Structure 1
Amino acid sequence: MPGRAKISISLDAELVVEVMVLAGIGSPQDAVEAVVRDYIERGHRTEARVQLQDEPRREADLGQPPPQG
């Protein structure tokens, strides 16, 4: 991707080969990048799910008057 900063890291070769096999990707760089992108996307989906679950509770809390005491 042009214009994006890149970094270089060292990884255990066995880990990279396993990622390549599991992902069905022949390039070590592409395989590891695919795993990282999937991890990030999964995190965003989880955040969205949690937010959707919390919305009804927040709306219910907003509709109730604060406790008097």
Structure 2
Amino acid sequence: MAQITVTLDANLAIDAMLLSGTKNPQEAVELVLRDYLARGRRTETRTGDAADGRRVSTDRRNVQEG
């Protein structure tokens, strides 16, 4: 896997380490980012996306109230 170098503020790296429970800032940032991406995928799976034709229907019934 290719690796890149990213410069972060020390306070941000420390916050990521505290959130992830690691002692290595590189591992902490990687874990937080992986969790963020996984959470986004779970949300898309639950709600669908804009191209999901099943959740948008043009023939809605008009319900009369009262």
Alignment TM-score, normalising by the size of structure 2: 0.71
- Moved >2 Å (runs of 4+): 54-58
- Equivalent position SS for 1:17: helix
Match of 2:41 in 1: 44
Q: CA RMSD in A?
A: 2.0
Match of 1:13 in 2: 10
Q: 1:57–1:22: structure 2 CA closer, same or farther, 3 Å change rule?
A: closer
CA distance in 2, matches of 1:50, 1:28: 33
Deviation, 1:22, is: 1.9
Q: 1:20–1:33: structure 2 CA closer, same or farther, 3 Å change rule?
A: same
> In structure 1, what residue type is equivalent to 2:32?
V
Q: As a proportion of its length, which structure holds more helix? A: 1
Q: Which runs of 5+ in 2 are unaligned?
A: 60-66
Q: Which runs of 5+ in 1 are unaligned?
A: 65-69
Alignment TM-score, normalising by the size of structure 1: 0.69
Aligned length: 56
Identity percentage of aligned residues? 47
